[in-house]
Amino acid sequence: MKCICVILLVFTGLFPVAAFAQVPAKSGSFSDISFIEGHWKATTAEGRVIEAVWLAPAGDNILGFMRMMNGDKADLYEILAYEQTDQGLTSLVKHFKPGLLGQEEKDSPNRYLFVEASKDRAVFQNVNGDLRILYEKRSSSRFAIARGSKENGQWVFKDLFVFNKVK
């Protein structure tokens, strides 16, 4: 009887570890998003100009920022930090209106966790799991940021911005 109890304890103690070991960690790295580095510009269908800069990786982060213009007036600023965290590659985003008036709570950036990457493509998902952001290199001088949502059980992405490299 003692032997059965010990075997049962060992089996039930190891089973959860074995079950979780089957799930691959999705950590991501800066090389998965390296194509975004540089100075970029996009124009929306409404004529808004979005200018963006992403710096080269330094230490455990990449920093980016965007300026969204409506005519000759700033409409929105966005700061993006990509950090290596305990949860893997994480995208942190804060939005500001002119005057640097924060749109999110002071200590609560929008947080997106790395999901997957392939050549010239990386996907992040918000912590609620209901929104994905796709970064996709379309040519040597063009990349897009697209927003993804679930439709009929599949992720469907629609372009937010299509950037051209500024020379």
The CATH number of the domain where 58 resides is what? 2.40.128.20
Domain presence at residue 85: yes
Range of the domain at 81: 29-165
Give the pLDDT confidence score for residue 8 in this predicted structure. Answer: 36
Residue 96 located in a structural domain:
yes
Number of domains in the chain: 1
50 assigned to some structural domain: yes
**Could you tell me if residue 55 is inside a domain?**
yes
User: Which portions of the chain are predicted below pLDDT 70?
Assistant: 1-26
Cα–Cα distance, 33 to 135 (Å, whole number)? 8
Q: 44 in a domain, yes or no?
A: yes
Residue 5 lies in a domain: no
Contact 65, 80 (CB under 8 A): yes
Nearest CA among 120, 154, 114, 149 for reference residue 135? 120
Q: Kindly report the pTM of this predicted structure.
A: 0.81
| pLDDT reported for residue 4 | 43
